[in-house]
Amino acid sequence: MYPHRRIERVTLGHPIVAFASGEPVQIVDASVRGVRLTHENLLAQRDRCAIAFDWKGQEIEFVGRVRWTRAQRDSPKPGYQSGLEISAIDEQSTSALRTLIQSYVERALEEQKANARGVPPATESQAQTGRAPLYVRHELVYGIWRKTTTTEPRQPESGFTVLVGESPHQVDLLRAAYSAADRQTRDMIRALAELSLSNPDDAPRRFIP
């Protein structure tokens, strides 16, 4: 009903061990607005659930509100998943959480740049026939991703453009990173995406927030 309120999250390659009001949990995805956890026991504190964990030496702590909980019925290990919305967080933890999320943005952009150095199968076929390369424009409109195949490599105002041969996994990673990012980070994603299409060897090796 309100698609613009949807918030996509960055899925973590490896769950991060954390504590929720003293109970051991694992963070499986995150955004600047909240996290998704897996846990063995039901969370006792739902309105003020204190989350604490360490990421590469940075302590991240915040108070979250449990928005939903469901049993992991399709998992071999019994337990639950819960989605938490951040209700209180200090400046230091906010900065560290953004750094965590941006590290996944960096990884997505590095993978995109590496892929751009080669010639995707579709582009290679087009080069043999003398046709212009194709691109795929991914635009985020009111929280919904729209996908358009085009011959124009320009970057959209909201979203990004990649080569037509980009892997679905890579596109999903970029979409999640873009959706979870702030305005400055989104601008950087588009700028680096443009560089990777026009001159991949000159694109920056490291993302700077």
List the one residue out of 90, 4, 87 whose CA is nearest residue 49. Answer: 87
Which stretch of 60-69, 102-111, 123-132 has the lowest confidence by average pLDDT? 123-132
Per-residue confidence band for 34, with pLDDT thresholds at 50, 70 and 90: very high
pTM higher than 0.75 for the full model?
no
Contacts of 92 (CB under 8 A, 6+ apart): 59
Classify burial at 184, counting beta carbons within 10 Å of its beta carbon; exposed 0-12, middle 13-18, buried 19 or more. Answer: exposed
The torsion region of residue 159 among left (phi > 0), alpha (psi -120 to 50) and beta comes to left
Q: Which CATH architecture has domain 3-89?
A: Beta Barrel (2.40)
Place of tokens 């469901």: 70
Question: What pLDDT is recorded for position 169?
Answer: 76
Compute the mean pLDDT over every residue in the chain, rounded to the nearest whole number.
78
Quick check: 163 and 170 in contact, CB under 8 A?
no
Domain boundaries, the chain: 3-89, 102-201
Residues 129-148, buried b or exposed e (16+ Cβ, 10 A)?
eeeebbbbbbbbeeeeeeee
